[in-house]
Amino acid sequence: MRALEAAFPNGDFPAVSVFEVGGAYFVSDGHHRVALAHERRQEFIEAEVVKLATGWELAKRLGRLPSPEELGNSWLTEVYQPGLRALNEAGLSCPYEGATEADSFLWLYQRRRALWMQGTRASYRDAVYDIRHPRRLSRRERRRLRKAAEGLPTAETQELVNA
């Protein structure tokens, strides 16, 4: 916390990442920044918010609790089939040998989720575009990866350990 305080004396932290589920917010990255902002009595902190749809959304639309069949049908028509449609329209499928239709869906869904984690409210079409047009990592993304890799063994140190 003190290192964060020294690095950002004015409270201009990088955005935290949060998930919003039914009006509740859960921090996925940036717990220390949030704690420091609270300590400093900051009213606001920049956040990248990923809204997760739940059965609650369906219940609000229906005006009652949905049945398990309604929940399953909602997921099929609002999540799974649009993903498959985007793959089919793009002529894409999972690149792994023996992959099923469900594997292809999960492959695209994971790509879309990765885009969401970068702060983009991505659609399946955005994920298809991302697959077709790989991009270079931003400075911020490279910095995060370097920081995450600090202290991990390199090939040379692993060889020394095994020797």
Query: CA-to-CA distance for 125 and 119, rounded, in angstroms?
Result: 16
19, 28 contact by CB (below 8 A) = yes
pTM over 0.75: no
CA distances from 104 to 34, 85, 86, 99, 107 (A): 37, 11, 11, 7, 5
Q: pLDDT by residue (tens digit) across 9-29?
A: 887 888 888 877 767 788 878
The per-residue pLDDT for 87 is 94
pLDDT at 26: 82
pLDDT confidence band for 157 (50 / 70 / 90): very low
* Adjacent-strand bridge partners of 21: 24, 52
- What is the spatial distance between Cα 134 and Cα 94, in angstroms, rounded to a whole number? 16
Q: Is the pLDDT of residue 120 over 70?
A: no
Residue-wise pLDDT tens digits, 33-81: 888 888 888 888 888 777 666 777 888 889 999 888 888 888 888 889 9
